[in-house]
Structure formats: C-alpha cells, structure tokens
Structure 1
C-alpha cells in the first residue's frame, strides 16, 4: 500500500510522528523488552536512577549499543522526502538516515552530561569506560567512573526518564500548526503527551494518517 507515501509526497507541510515500531526492523528493542526479567521501562524512571545509579547505568550502557543499529527503509524514506520528524525514539536512527529536522521528545542515547558543571560527554566513549568495570563486578570503580572528570559531579543521561519533563513540545506544536498531514508511524499512542499530538494536529486542521500493517511496508518499498 503506497497511500501513505503518496500522501507524504503530495502534502505541502507533512510531519511524521514516530515510535518504537519504526526502529524494530533495525533490531532496536522496545521498552517492553526484558532486562533482568522485567520490562526495560520499569528501570527508566527518575526514581530508579536516584536510588541505584550503578544499576541504572548498567542498563543504560546496554541500551547505548542501540545507536550502532542501522536505519531501515522507513527511516530512509522519511529522510529522502525531507519530512520533519517528531519522535518518541532515543536511538538517533532518523538523524543517521539523514533527516534534518528531528524533535526528540524523549531525548537520546548519544550524550551524557554532568549535573553540576553541565559538561557533555559522548555516550559511547562514556560506556566504553564503564563496561570493563561492570564486567569485573567492581562497583567502586563504576562509582568513580560515574563522576564527571572535570568537577567530580554526578553524570546523567540525556534520555528523558519517567518523571522528567518531555522536551520539544513547543517546537512540536509549532510544526503541527503549519502541518497539513501528520503521518503516525510505529507508535501505539499510549504515552502522553505524544499520544495527544494527533488530536492536536486535527484541531489545527491537518489530516492524520495512522499506521496500519501495510504502511511500513509501503515506506520500505520507497
């Protein structure tokens, strides 16, 4: 079914809203995937980060490897069409595919930063320093590595955790005000405020197309 692709091509100001389903063909797990016998999402709360930073960053460094996944045909099709993207995903695959305007509502896995001085670090390099300490079971070395090398402050992730404020909503609202077509791809629309965006787009006058089983196949054929 090529209806979504045709509609995206024909629209004057199309926007895509994407979720985990668009990255599943690239091998990126969803937050419902299991970590230590429980869904990943159970460990992605701000309260868990505060309570057990060693446990939290063990999961984070496992998730950081998702950034080595490759974009699939759906990511590439949106990029080729130049469609601005509002995404719930944290894997960076839209940018890797070449999309120029991507609003990451839930942050991303590419950066960590110091909560004291604000210094940013590349997440891949950060996790490469941590992984040998985790493999050795050396919690004290992990605690040391979790401190900012510049000021000794605590490192945090750029991922928006449950309990944090979602980012980019004003920018997303501005996109939707101009939008004439919102293509909703790979999201169950269960998580707010992203779940409210299709209704918001409709109120602004946009047509909304929801993914069905054929839509990703259509994008993959682009």
Structure 2
C-alpha cells in the first residue's frame, strides 16, 4: 500500500480531516534537518531573533544558503497530501505544498521565497536578490540599511496565522500529523486541543527517502 492509499484509509470515515506537516516530510526533497550544522551552529539555533541580533553575518549567510531550497521540488508526500484535498497546517517554510498544487495551506512560519527588512517595508523575491547578495559580507536593506531576513518566523517572533489554524482544529474530527514533533509553542497546542475535543489523531514521522 502506498502512502496515498494508506492516508485515504486512515481518513475514510472522517467528516473533516486536517493535516499538520513538519520538516521531516521535506527530507525526500533533499532539504536538511533543522539540526544540520551551518558555520558551526545548528540551523535551529541560527533562525532565532537573538542570533540575528548577536551574529548577523552568520545569520544572513545562512539565509542565503537555505534560500536555495527554493529550487527544491515537491516529493511523493506533498503529492499524496494534495490528492487528499484537505486543509493543511504547516510548519514548513519551503512552500512545497503550494507548489504541489494544494489549495488550502496555512503557513505558520512564513516562507523562504522573499527577503524582508526587519524595520521598513522593503521586500524582494529571493531570486531577484542576487544583485544585492554577497555571501562574503553582510547583506543589509538597500532602503534603510537595517538587517534583513527571509520572510520566515524566527524563534522569539509570533507565529503567523495561528487563529486560522485553530479554526481548522476546532472543526477537525481527524488530525493527521506528518513529519513533525510539534515541539514549538504554541504549535504544540494544536495537537493538545484536538486530543481534548476527541479528534482521532494519527502520527507518522518516518518516510522513505
């Protein structure tokens, strides 16, 4: 039984299934885990507000490197979820659900398709930013010279679209959790809420790569 058939069987009698996806579903697309090492630091540590403020040079160099994930393609997991045609709540920043063709995707942590200034309204698509980028020196906003970042939620910043995610969880009678440990507050509250209201919860964290 392939993944799509397996997931269809799991939600067969569900009236309103919802899926939460996390970083592990992207590994078959050749993205790296957040524990991966960049310039002597884990990606998980670098993508934080504290790190941006204390070590901007390594922070922006890392943003440039993970921005290259924009070249990645959806894998069989994204395609299977698309075929289910159910609401998706995702921690992932790569936009691969949308690229795969899924229609209802709630992005909790932003995406890597743009750079944005931390102070002014400057933004620029990642692939148009090459004229500004030089990985050998810090890259500041060309408008106000403040630090910039990928358009993602760093640790220390507020989760986006959380009320939309809550609305879906309130309606869910089945919750699929694919490739996520749900170890970030308040995202971990979604699982707890689903469990409290009696939703059927199915967790899958291992996938073929």
State TM-score, norm by structure 1.
0.83
Q: What are the Cα deviations for residues 156-191 of structure 1, in whole angstroms up to 9, with x where unaligned?
A: 331111111111211100001111111000012222
Aligned residue in 1 for 2:163: 170
Asked if residue 26 in structure 1 is aligned to residue 29 in structure 2, the reply is yes
The question of whether the paired residues in 1 share the 8 Å contact of 2:180 and 2:205 is answered with no
Structure 1, unaligned runs of 5 or more: none
Please say if 1:129 is aligned against 2:131.
yes
Name the CA shift for 1:202/1:176 in 2 (closer, same or farther; >3 Å): same
TM-score of the two chains, using structure 2 as the length reference: 0.88
- Helix, strand or coil for the counterpart of 1:17? strand
More strand by share: 2
Distance 1:168 1:86, change over 3 A: same
Question: Would the aligned equivalents of 1:108 and 1:158 in 2 still touch at CA under 8 Å?
Answer: yes
Matching of residue 114 in structure 1 with residue 114 in structure 2 = no
Structure 2 unaligned spans of 5+: none
Q: How many residues align?
A: 206
Q: For residues 18-77 of structure 1, what are the alpha-carbon distances to aligned partners after superposition, in whole Å with 9 as ceiling and x for unaligned?
A: 111111111011111111233211211101112232321100010001121111111011
Q: Secondary structure at the match of 1:158?
A: strand
Verify: 1:184 aligned to 2:202, yes or no.
no
Q: Secondary structure at the match of 1:90?
A: coil
How many Å separate the matches in 1 of 2:199 and 2:40? 42
Cα drift, residue 205 of structure 1: 3.2
In structure 2, the CA distance between the partners of 1:20 and 1:113, relative to structure 1 (3 Å rule), is same
Q: Does residue 1:82 correspond to 2:85, yes or no?
A: yes
- Aligned residue for 2:141, secondary structure, equals coil
Counting only pairs closer than 5 Å after superposition, residues 1-222 of structure 1 correspond to structure 2 as: 2-126=5-129, 128-131=130-133, 133-134=134-135, 137=136, 139=137, 142-143=138-139, 146-149=140-143, 151-211=144-204, 213=206, 216=207
Shift of the alpha carbon at 1:100?
1.1
CA distance in 2, matches of 1:105, 1:91: 12
